[in-house]
Amino acid sequence: MWNLGKKAIKDIPTNVAGLGVIVGYFLGLNELLLLLLAGIAVLLAKLGRSQGRFGGALLLPISGILAQRSGNSLFTSPTWQSVFLFFLKVGSVLYGSGYVLLAFLQRDLVERNGWLTSQQLLDAVAIGQFTPGPVFTTATFIGYLIAGNAGAIAATIGIFLPAFVLVFAVNPWVAKLRSSKWFGGILDGVNAASLGLMAAVTYTLGRTALIDWVTISLAFISTVIVFRFQINSAWLVLVGGLVGLVARLIA
């Protein structure tokens, strides 16, 4: 979040968009809607500012965010097919960072569908951090928790498949799109929204993870180590697990 924030939060519109997404997330608004409207809000704000009109351009999309609520769940039963469709959807629209995935998982799998508990999601995050590969490997473990081996395979294929298609289709146009004032403004807004989603889900999962002096101390010490020594997170997860095991055995 810190590294992304230094790049994503660059001016007043992106600051406001990031904060607005945090508020919208806790109001129960759909994550995709928040990403889309934040992109539009920052675009309009920057276009308005370049023409001497700032305030109204930003307030219109934010008012739209506050006026809407997220819809009902699309999936009702945790089968491997529904796991595949869910992660196919997430893989098709996820943007900003692999850690934005956690916002989608917390909202859809824990809060809307009830397929996982927050504790199970935290366990999956730990597994994803400890194993080689990107954060998206968390999907494999979650698929297994929901629907066994078939769910693990379905989740893995579902979340990675869209990337191959989208990269192939969009790659020739990336440089041209980024140089566009319109598209660049939307990307700035979506980047800020991604940061806001990560901040919101960090707070949500933190309430489940930080439950006693051991976990709070581990979180504090790990944060210091990450910023001071840039150590690989897998070692932090391993040491944290060992400390937790020792603390449980002593208790």
189-208 pLDDT, tens digit per residue, is: 988 998 999 999 889 889 88
Confidence tier at 179 by pLDDT (50, 70, 90): confident
34-54 pLDDT, tens digit per residue, is: 988 999 999 998 887 766 544
pTM beyond 0.85: the answer is no
111-151 pLDDT, tens digit per residue, is: 888 999 988 988 888 887 777 777 788 899 999 999 999 99
pLDDT at 24: 93
What does R_g of the chain's alpha carbons equal in angstroms? 19
- Lookup: tokens for 211: 């439950």
CB contact at 8 A, 126 and 245: no
Is residue 211 over pLDDT 70? yes
Share of the chain above pLDDT 70, in %: 87
pLDDT at 134: 79
- Lookup: tokens for 200: 């919101």
Q: What angle do CA 228, 230, 234 make, to 5 degrees?
A: 125
Of the given ranges (22-26, 63-67, 155-159, 166-170), which has the lowest mean pLDDT? 63-67
Confidence tier at 219 by pLDDT (50, 70, 90): very high
pLDDT at 55: 45
pLDDT at 141: 92
26: burial class by Cβ within 10 Å (0-12, 13-18, 19+)? Answer: exposed
65-97 pLDDT, tens digit per residue, is: 433 444 444 455 789 999 999 999 998 887 766
Provide the H-helix boundaries in the chain: 2-8, 12-26, 31-50, 55-66, 80-93, 101-105, 118-130, 138-170, 174-179, 181-209, 213-229, 233-250
CB contact at 8 A, 139 and 158: yes
Mean pLDDT (whole number) for 210-217: 92
Alpha-carbon span 91 to 229, nearest angstrom? 32
Q: Considering the chain, what is the average pLDDT of its residues?
A: 83
pLDDT at 97: 66
Give the rounded distance of the alpha carbon of 76 from its chain centre.
22
Q: Among candidates 162, 173, 119, which has minimal Cα distance to 142?
A: 119
- Lookup: tokens for 107: 């909202």
Is residue 155 over pLDDT 90? yes
Mean pLDDT (whole number) for 158-186: 84
pLDDT at 4: 81
Q: Among candidates 95, 99, 103, which has minimal Cα distance to 200?
A: 103
